[in-house]
Homo-oligomer: A and B are copies of this chain.
Amino acid sequence: MKNRVKQFVAPTLIVALFSAAGLVMAQQAPKPETLIKVRQSAFQVVAWNSTRIKASLEGTYNKEDVIKSANAIAAIANSGLGSLFAAGTETGKGWHETSAKAEVFSNGARFAELGANFGKEANELASVALSGDANLVKNQYGKLTSTCKACHNDFKSKD
């Protein structure tokens, strides 16, 4: 009888343990819609700070404002945005339906390469911003936005 109980209990325990493990994993792994929402938010903040730098370059140059915005863009670019495009997030809704093209997931190496270019130029802009030299900043800002455009052309849907 004890053996029969053991035989009954053991698989139940194993199932229970696996279920618990599954539950823990489910709690830790972010939902696809969360990842999509966070990446949409991150690029929104990048775009906002890009607009602020542009306003400084086209209007009255504000050194402190440009430094703050360039730092925000660089820190977000360095924060590991690639992980927000995890498998399972090919389609779905964050704040809105994802704008990521299928190529993000089918050509991950190229997407990562363009992401690295974005990070490199963003870091350089944060460095150049410290000089307060509007011409240097304008030149580097152009390099940064060209990395944005390159990635959008290949990996972001237009609608």
Q: Please give the count of copies of this chain that the complex contains.
A: 2
Instruction: Write out, one digit per residue, whether chain A residues 50-69 have a CB within 8 A of any chain B CB (1) or not (0).
Output: 01000100010000010011
Least Cβ–Cβ distance between A76 and chain B, in angstroms? 6
> Bound state CA distance, A45 and B44, in angstroms?
10
Contact B28 A38 (CB under 8 A): no
> Which of chain B's residues has its CB closest to A37's CB?
B44
A95 lies within 8 A of chain B by Cβ: yes
> Bound state CA distance, A71 and B73, in angstroms?
11
> Which of chain B's residues has its CB closest to A28's CB?
B55
A74 lies within 8 A of chain B by Cβ: yes
* Contacting residue for A71 out of B38, B41, B45, B79, CB 8 A: B79
A42 lies within 8 A of chain B by Cβ: yes
Top 4 A-B pairs ranked by shortest CB distance?
A: A75-B75, A41-B41, A41-B44, A72-B79
A99 lies within 8 A of chain B by Cβ: no
